[in-house]
Amino acid sequence: MLLTFGLLSPNKGIENVLQALPAVVKKHPDAVYIILGATHPNILKHHGDAYRIMLQQLVRKLHMGEHVIFQNRFVELKELGCGSIG
């Protein structure tokens, strides 16, 4: 399982992970990449949800829909089980 969490914005490189995912899945067919987080408010204000939509389109283009889960919500560290981080 791979996980990205936090506010989504282009500087996180999520598209790079998605581009590498087919190679990962080839070696680990049960791999799943969870993209957990709402789009950053500043990105939403200026660009809407275009970044998230681009990521979703990339997943479809790469035929990785079975291996990527989008959760469009903000999650506190406590919910992730990382209460002692920070």
pLDDT tens-digit series, residues 41-53: 999 999 999 999 9
What CATH code is carried by the domain that includes residue 47?
3.40.50.2000
pLDDT tens-digit series, residues 37-86: 999 999 999 999 999 999 999 999 999 999 999 999 877 777 776 554 44
In a domain, 43, yes or no: yes
pTM: 0.85
In a domain, 68, yes or no: yes
The 3-state DSSP composition of the chain as helix, strand, coil percent (nearest 5) reads 50, 15, 35
For residue 50, the enclosing domain spans 2-74
Element (H, E) at 59: helix 50-61
